Amino acid sequence: MNWDERIDEVWADATGEEVGDEIIARIDALAAERGADDARAEFERAGARDSAGRPAEAVELYRRALELGLDAEHRPQAVVQLASSLRNLGEFDQALAVIRAEEEISADGPYRDAVAAVHALVLASAGQPARGLSVALLALVPHLPRYHRSMTAYAHDIADADA
């Protein structure tokens, strides 16, 4: 079984239950196989801590993983998870900066809806719920069978309610 499959196996074992020290230890052991300068290993270590409710530890590791350079599949995941952890820590300005930058990079990427969802959550948590709703509605519009023009207009109008 290759490294990715073993990582997936650990995460499959953690599905449906709270992540704790055992999962962190298993992920850390697998990460150690790749070394301290491996972006993917740092990303997995961050995710384990994030899932265990340790956002401060996760933030440091997500930043390191991004600095080391993640592939196109894991980089947007790390950004989404970093912004979410920053939100959980009450670091709303940092979370917004990270997620807004990702919106520009991933405008047409597979994680664009996840980026929008975290952006909306950060705004709501930062005391701007109408702007958060606007972001969520704009992300939803492309998935609607009709009403694109009207929903887009409503989303833009409602964003001003927090001003």
Question: What is 13-44 written as a DSSP string?
Answer: HHTTS---HHHHHHHHHHHHHH-TT-HHHHHH
Which fold does the domain 3-91 belong to in CATH?
1.25.40
DSSP 162: G
12-32: average pLDDT:
88
Cβ-contact 113, 139 below 8 angstroms: yes
Specify the pLDDT at position 47: 96
Residue-wise pLDDT for 43-81, tens only, equals 999 999 999 999 999 999 999 999 999 999 999 999 999
Residue-wise pLDDT for 79-122, tens only, equals 999 999 999 999 999 999 999 999 999 888 999 999 999 999 99
Q: Tokens at residue 64, please?
A: 């390191």
Predicted model pTM: 0.93
Distances (CA, A) of 98 to 10, 16, 29, 55, 62: 28, 29, 29, 15, 12
